[in-house]
Amino acid sequence: MGRRRVSVARRLPRPAELWSYLRPPATTVRPRRLARAASIADLRELARRRVPRAVFDYVDGAAETETSLTRARAAFADVEFRPRVLRDVSAVDPSTTLLGRPSALPIVFAPTGFTRMMHVAGEPAVAGAAAGLGIPYALSTMGTTTPEALAEAVPGGERWFQLYLGRDRPAAAKLVDRAAASGFSTLVLTVDTATSGARLRDVRNGMTVPPSLTPRTLLDMATHPGWWFNVLTTEPLGFASVDPTGAAFGDVVGDLLDPALTFEDLAALRRSWTGPLVVKGVQTVEDARAVVDLGADAIVLSNHGGRQLDRAPTPLEWLPEAVAEVGDRTEIYVDGGVLGGADVVAAVALGARAVLVGRAYLYGLMAGGRAGVEHAGRILREDVVRTMTLLGVTSVAELNPDLVRFRKGQR
């Protein structure tokens, strides 16, 4: 038997119906390339095309075989959510408090070095986006903007300052005083940098700060003229807070990373700094206990995004152990491998107070300056709210270990 032909009634479309197809989407107020980015992964791809390879790889890469970074992403991928249904989730509030201060999300924009290398807008763009989002931003000692300049550029918002307690202790103390005088509320001491990690992408790319003019970089000029124009027509890249003399890059880093740093130095810093103190780079329960005993108000379970010791502990995996050990005495944050709001929700459900995000906003910065960072923030917020809604919770306080588990047999 042959197939019967189905008759379809046809008509001309009404003008109002045509308009619904032709009208521009609301997102066109943003640059078109950003409007098309629906995820942090999309922003990463945009960033890869818009900056020189050495710059992208500096952000995207990790140490040695990059095993630590791969494991961090795998740990988040192995999380299985256990949603609750038939709950009223018509109003979801993703806000929380961090160190006694309100935060619109359980997210902190992490400290990152050389930020103006990613985009000429630099740290003020990131701090401004964080302030607009209602979350803290931490300025790095290795930043390309001074604490004073950042406070002037972005007078609002919650500002933290990340410290490398280098060989020159008096200079470090003066830097801390400058941050305090500029209104930075919280000090973040990084403790996992006895020396620099072997970041092989940077070595292979011949990356220097500021960039060197070589045959490879001259070729990059042809393919990324906008980036190079910005670099060549603005102040030279350097450590704005600690390098007023234009010293060699390696010499400055060598002075900032002190292999002689000990718990005694942390104790001394705790005595001198009266505000909240966060210790970043804790990687074992034993060190977590010791750091909290010395008065840390919060710790960051971190292997530096996989950029220091390769095959270091994966923060998300041992988060529950850390929470059981010191979670009643300090706030616990996590970083490394966070590329979406679902990652944030998973970490908080497993016991983290908040998550530090670095690469995710840097992809946005490279893709589109401040607008790109703001777009990354919107993506993260929408991800968090959607994930909470589908989990059946209406507040961050409701996130708990009953809602998540690592896939059976994987952990």
Catalytic residues: 304
Single-letter code of the amino acid located at 63: A
Quote the CA–CA distance of 166 and 256 in Å, as a whole number. Answer: 4
Quote the CA–CA distance of 145 and 240 in Å, as a whole number. Answer: 5
**Residues in CB range of 91: below 8 A, 6 or more apart:** 394
Quote the CA–CA distance of 125 and 369 in Å, as a whole number. Answer: 7
- Say which residue the tokens 């930043």 belong to: 143
Are the C-beta atoms of residues 323 and 77 closer than 8 Å to each other?
A: no
- Residue 23 sits at φ, ψ, to 5 deg, of -65, 145
Quote the CA–CA distance of 387 and 374 in Å, as a whole number. Answer: 20
Quote the CA–CA distance of 406 and 387 in Å, as a whole number. Answer: 17
Quote the CA–CA distance of 301 and 288 in Å, as a whole number. Answer: 9
